[in-house]
């Protein structure tokens, strides 16, 4: 069940409650994605880790709200919401566009209060300091057929949706908006974060090489870890258990105690 009580939670969705005093993980969706993408992660991590999923405007229960096509403006809004929720010091997990948003939110919160996330997980995205030759991406400038072709290429969207004209009418404006946001994003050189960063990437991701993911090490003075999985841009759909294992081990390395049998699990 999604929990949302009050206007201050318009940006945050909670699917499962965690243990009192337990870990909290704020999850940032990819371009065209929504908070519900992280429902399976929430289910797998609860109750030891409570997942708070960010809901961008223009999709699902926020579908009537204007879209935001700027990473900095999105980051400003999300940082405000996390401060209101007392989740600014939680761990963050972002995939693709969500990785950049998680990083930008972390920078804003650190600048405001001299603190940031407990740990940053960045998935399927090259480090902000790495730009590819040829200038900004142009996917958001393609016609509808070109945008659909890109979605088929990277995966992550149910193919049946891409064959349904009515669903495409809902999907494409949101996806185009998000591609514009990430493709026009320009990294502003800032001091590195001090939280640990874990970078995750598929070994056949057309959008991020292992070397580009490894460059996230430059964005922290803390510990850095690189995890490479079999798969493409949406490797985590097939490797969800492996990814949640990485998150669990990083956030809570002590095995849980089975209080009924007195054994570790």
Has residue 211 been placed in a domain?
yes
Q: What is the structure's pLDDT at 1?
A: 41
For residue 258, pLDDT over 50 is answered with: no
Give the residue carrying structure tokens 């499962």: 16
In a domain, 172, yes or no: no
Q: Quick check: is 21 in a domain?
A: yes
| Residue 23 is assigned to a structural domain of this protein | yes
| Residue at 261 is within a domain | no
Domain that holds residue 23: 7-131+190-254
Catalytic annotation, residues: 96
Nearest alpha carbon to residue 41 among 32, 31, 30, 77? 30
Please name the residue ranges forming H helices in 14-143.
39-45, 71-85, 97-113
In this prediction, residue 146 carries a pLDDT of 85
Which tens digit of pLDDT belongs to each residue from 60-76? Answer: 999 999 999 999 999 99
What pLDDT does residue 166 have?
86
CATH classification at residue 49: 3.40.50.1820
Q: How many domains is the chain built from?
A: 1
Q: For the chain, give the mean pLDDT.
A: 89
Does residue 181 form part of some domain?
no
Q: Which residue has the higher pLDDT, 90 or 156?
A: 90
More confident residue, 72 or 8: 72
| Closest to 205 measured CA to CA, from 174, 242, 236 | 236
Residue 263 has pLDDT above 50, yes or no: no
In a domain, 50, yes or no: yes
Residue 41: per-residue pLDDT: 97
- Asked whether residue 260 is domain-assigned, the answer is no
């Amino acid at each position: 069940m999604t929990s949302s009580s009050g206007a201050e939670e318009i940006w945050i969705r909670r699917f499962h409650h965690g243990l009192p005093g337990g870990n909290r993980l704020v999850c940032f969706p990819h371009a065209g994605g929504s908070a519900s993408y992280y429902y399976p992660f929430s289910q797998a991590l609860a109750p030891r880790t409570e997942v708070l999923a960010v809901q961008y405007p223009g999709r699902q229960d926020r579908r009537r709200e204007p879209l935001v096509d700027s990473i900095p403006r999105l980051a400003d809004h999300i940082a405000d919401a996390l401060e209101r929720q007392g989740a600014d010091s939680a761990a963050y997990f972002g995939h693709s566009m969500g990785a950049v948003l998680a990083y930008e939110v972390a920078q804003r919160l650190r600048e405001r209060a001299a603190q940031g996330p407990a740990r940053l997980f960045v998935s399927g995205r090259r480090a902000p300091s790495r730009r590819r030759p040829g200038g900004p991406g142009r996917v958001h400038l393609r016609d509808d057929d070109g945008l659909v072709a890109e979605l088929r290429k990277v995966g992550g969207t149910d193919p049946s949706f891409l064959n349904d004209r009515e669903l495409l009418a809902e999907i494409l404006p949101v996806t185009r908006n998000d591609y514009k946001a990430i493709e026009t994003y320009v990294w502003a050189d800032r001091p590195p974060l001090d939280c640990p960063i874990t970078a995750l990437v598929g070994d056949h991701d057309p959008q991020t090489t292992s070397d580009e993911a490894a460059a996230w090490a430059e964005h922290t003075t803390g510990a850095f870890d690189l995890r490479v999985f079999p798969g493409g841009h949406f490797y985590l759909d097939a490797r969800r258990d492996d990814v949640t294992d990485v998150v669990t081990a990083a956030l809570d390395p002590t095995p849980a105690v089975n209080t009924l049998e007195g054994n570790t699990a």
